[in-house]
Amino acid sequence: MNGIVCIEWLNVNLNLTDLVILDASLITTANENSSKTPLKTIPGSRFFDLKNTFSDSSSPLPNTIPNEGHFEVECQKLGICQNSKIVVFDSLGIYSSPRV
């Protein structure tokens, strides 16, 4: 699998058992909705919450990566394992997905 995949590849491979699609969209006041979930998504994608779950809340700096143990546990909750093929996207193109 290459580092970057196209929409066509994703469409053909949506049913791969080891494929994990992560929605890294940031929810801001500009695009917030009542359910607090991203406005755009890909079917079967899992929300990668950069602001809460995948940030170190004890750090005085915003959006600091959590420690390795916390990161690993939260990734496992999303179904990510060593053999996973991971596709990351966000609703603004390449705004927050590169952080993931």
Tell me the domains of the chain and their CATH numbers. 1-100 (3.40.250.10)
d(Cα 48, Cα 22) in Å, to the nearest integer?
6
Cβ–Cβ under 8 Å, residues 88 and 48: yes
Place of tokens 């004890």: 58
Cβ–Cβ under 8 Å, residues 99 and 24: yes
Q: What is the DSSP letter of 97?
A: G
pLDDT tens-place string over residues 50-70:
988 999 989 999 888 999 999
The predicted model scores a pTM of 0.82
Could you tell me which residue, 95 or 53, shows the higher pLDDT? 53
11, amino acid identity = N
